[in-house]
Amino acid sequence: MLVQKPPKESLVDSLIYRSYEGEGDYNKPSYGEEKQVKFIRIDRKTEYTFNSDGKQLLRNAKVFCYYGLTTPLPDFKAQDIVIFDDDEHKIVGVSKFKEPFIDQYYSFELDVI
């Protein structure tokens, strides 16, 4: 039994993805080729945390990707770059969710700044 996914028509956003490949000359980050990723949902909400050092940015947006709907579905990881709304964002957190009764991914949630 699979968990119901959102209708594909509701996944109206897309982004450009570049995978982090390490550091190059002078410790400058190196990224792979650009890939267009379609059928995602982006929640654009800036979130902060407050501590003794002051206000700290947690994320600018959360990106939702679904196995079987999002095309292509890369293996996202921290430090990868995604580009949407004409801005470059860095992935700072990846949450992977699996289907409850089979060994298959259901969705990915990306925290980006």
Mean pLDDT of the 99-105 span: 90
pLDDT, residue 1, reads 60
DSSP state of 60: S
Q: Provide the pairing of β-strand 81-84 with 13-18.
A: antiparallel
Mean pLDDT of the 55-64 span: 88
- Indicate the CATH number of 8-112 among 3.30.70, 3.40.720, 2.40.10, 1.10.287: 2.40.10
Place 48 in a pLDDT band, splitting at 50, 70 and 90: confident
Instruction: Report the 3 state secondary structure along 88-112.
Output: EEEEEEEEEEECCCCCCEEEEEEEE
Mean pLDDT of the 88-113 span: 94
Give the residue, 87 or 3, on which the prediction is more confident.
87
Q: How far apart are CA 6 and CA 32, in angstroms?
A: 30
Give the residue, 3 or 33, on which the prediction is more confident.
33
Mean pLDDT of the 4-23 span: 95
Mean pLDDT of the 11-26 span: 94
Ordered by start, the domain boundaries in the chain are 8-112
Give the residue, 53 or 67, on which the prediction is more confident.
67
Angstrom distances, CA of residue 28 to CA of 21, 35, 71, 76, 90 = 11, 21, 29, 20, 15
